[in-house]
Amino acid sequence: MSIITLVEYERVPIRAELETVDDHALSTSELDALYGVSARLGIEIFQQTGRAEVRFQQYVGLIRLGRRNIELLPKIESPTDKGPTLIRENLLRMLLIARDVDVHLPSSVLAELAHVNWLDALVRLFCLELSEQIRRGLMRRYRLEEDDLHVVRGRILVEQQVTRNIIHRERIACEFDELDENHALNQLFKLALSRMLRLIEAQSVQREVRELLVSFGAVELKPLSEDWWKRVELDRLATRFEPTKNMAQMFLSGLSPDLAGGRDDSFALLFDMNELFEGYIGRQLRQRLALERLTVKLQEQRHYLVRALGTGVPLIKLKPDIVVRCGTRTECVADTKWKRLWLSDSKFGLKENDIYQMLAYAQGYRCDHLLMLYPYHGEAGDVSGLVLEYEGRPTSVVIGQIRLDDLRTVPAQLASLYHQAIGAAPAATSEFVAVGTS
């Protein structure tokens, strides 16, 4: 199995036949398979920009096309000496934070990122975390059972005893609690492990997955095609499994339907960078502003933009990515956009619909402090610190660009932009005014 590494929005040539398995191109047969994966997922993984070229979109992860894997990485600034290794590390860290997976990334996993694709590293991390919890004991649950026994266990079911065992007096109809391992949480782990085994390439990681599967030998392997695994919840006794549960659900949520149906000749494990960036930034900001005793709500749906006249029925629900409050007072409303801004563009690459959307948030939340957060790309220029004002309103929008090459700096970047947003004074004359760049 060979692998080629691409970044989002990269253009890739199409050829009738590949010269080698490592050719940085797609064959026509691979293009057909890619169309099939895209159709089954219901998303546009790529755009065909010409007869002999495709351009991948904002999805990251892994796509298998026959005997080749395509690793898709985000377009994140990185030092040239580290390149894809640092991008894989940052993608892994962002994915874990965005999906509320609170685990430590050991140096052994980070060291592997220079030699394996990021999916193998993700599975290795999952195996390490799950192994640690299994060493402390596999979770068991009581379930209510009913059976005919030779001795009384639990309580006797009188009606069933009379109807079923009137002849066989040696049998006793009982209802009792059975403690076993075959419950939803363990079924989730077994399903995730069984799917991981079919996707990963590194033999050392395959061995770890097989060893873990032995621990779940008494657990039923339920299908992926239903949504039962999305609804698995933890009780108080199982909270130590929360990181591994979230990782398993994260992994399964990114799989294409191909693997659910048992096929592994072509499949995809993909994550939308729009959603990943939104979740990562929101959770980082929430953790940072908690130090200032501020609360941050993500994807809140509290207010409506309009109501029907006469009936008062709400019609358009507002759903901002981030709402910051001090007590009951809304301090700031923010949105994230995985889009590139351009210093050379007359409107800096800002989309009018996005600006209108922020005005709707200002109206619905009665808040004049707005913040729009974008990723930083050095080649596009630095727009961070730009402040926009709405004509005839005391409402301003701060445009922030987040540098993702060193994720340790992200909380401080977010705090600085937040404080600029709540303290920004709109200019008096211009619709688009830069009051400071950094």
State the chain's mean pLDDT as an integer.
Answer: 86
Number of domains the chain is built from:
4
State the Cα–Cα distance between residues 115 and 107, nearest whole angstrom.
14
Q: Which among 135, 3, 18 is positioned nearest to 65, based on CA atoms?
A: 3
Model confidence pLDDT, tens digit, residues 178-195: 778 888 899 999 999 998
Asked whether residue 149 is assigned to any structural domain, the reply reads yes
Render the burial of 227-250: b for 16+ CB within 10 Å, e for the rest: eebeebeeeeebeebebbbbbbbb
262 with 317, same domain: the answer is: no
Q: Which among 302, 303, 306 is positioned nearest to 315, based on CA atoms?
A: 306
Asked whether residue 321 is assigned to any structural domain, the reply reads yes
The confidence score (pLDDT) of residue 278 equals 96
333 with 427, same domain: the answer is: yes
The confidence score (pLDDT) of residue 164 equals 83
Which of 272, 303, 321 represents a domain boundary (last residue)?
272
96 with 245, same domain: the answer is: yes
388 with 263, same domain: the answer is: no
Asked whether residue 281 is assigned to any structural domain, the reply reads no
Whether the predicted pLDDT of 424 surpasses 60: no
Asked whether residue 20 is assigned to any structural domain, the reply reads yes
Q: Name the band, by pLDDT with cuts 50, 70 and 90, for residue 171.
A: confident
> SS3 for 289?
helix
Residue with tokens 């008096």: 428
Which of 129, 149, 180 represents a domain boundary (last residue)?
180
102 with 226, same domain: the answer is: yes
Whether the predicted pLDDT of 340 surpasses 70: yes
Domain assignment of residue 34, given as a range: 1-75+254-272
Query: Looking at residues 238-263, what average pLDDT do you find?
Result: 78
Q: Name the band, by pLDDT with cuts 50, 70 and 90, for residue 22.
A: confident
Q: What CATH number has the domain bearing residue 315?
A: 3.40.1350
- DSSP labels for 345-405? STTTT--HHHHHHHHHHHHHHT--EEEEEEE--GGG---TTEEEE-TTSS-EEEEEEE--S
Residue with tokens 């941050």: 296
The confidence score (pLDDT) of residue 387 equals 93
Whether the predicted pLDDT of 429 surpasses 70: no
Whether the predicted pLDDT of 328 surpasses 70: yes
The confidence score (pLDDT) of residue 430 equals 35
Which of the residue ranges 31-45, 96-110, 391-405 has the most confident prediction, judged by mean pLDDT? 391-405
Q: List 432's β-bridge partners, or say none.
A: 388
Query: Looking at residues 324-338, what average pLDDT do you find?
Result: 95
213 with 337, same domain: the answer is: no
185 with 169, same domain: the answer is: no
202 with 307, same domain: the answer is: no
Whether the predicted pLDDT of 205 surpasses 70: yes
90 with 233, same domain: the answer is: yes
104 with 54, same domain: the answer is: no
65 with 212, same domain: the answer is: no
Residue with tokens 């749906």: 301
Whether the predicted pLDDT of 73 surpasses 80: yes
Query: Looking at residues 347-369, what average pLDDT do you find?
Result: 94
pLDDT > 90 in the chain, percent? 45
The confidence score (pLDDT) of residue 431 equals 40
The confidence score (pLDDT) of residue 272 equals 94
Angle between helix 203-215 and 118-135 (nearest 10): 30
Asked whether residue 261 is assigned to any structural domain, the reply reads yes
Asked whether residue 287 is assigned to any structural domain, the reply reads no
Query: Looking at residues 215-235, what average pLDDT do you find?
Result: 88
Q: Name the band, by pLDDT with cuts 50, 70 and 90, for residue 291.
A: very high
Whether the predicted pLDDT of 426 surpasses 70: no
Asked whether residue 283 is assigned to any structural domain, the reply reads no
Which of 197, 218, 251 represents a domain boundary (last residue)?
251
Say which residue, 21 or 408, is predicted with more confidence. Answer: 408
The confidence score (pLDDT) of residue 258 equals 55
Query: Looking at residues 267-281, what average pLDDT do you find?
Result: 92
Characterise 168 by phi-psi region: left (phi > 0), alpha (psi -120 to 50), beta (else): beta
- DSSP labels for 99-145? TT------HHHHHHTTTS-HHHHHHHHHHHHHHHHHHT----EEEEE
Helices (H) and strands (E) in the chain, counts: 12, 18
Asked whether residue 277 is assigned to any structural domain, the reply reads no
237 with 104, same domain: the answer is: yes
The confidence score (pLDDT) of residue 257 equals 62
Q: Name the band, by pLDDT with cuts 50, 70 and 90, for residue 144.
A: confident
State the Cα–Cα distance between residues 105 and 122, nearest whole angstrom.
10
pLDDT > 70 in the chain, percent? 93
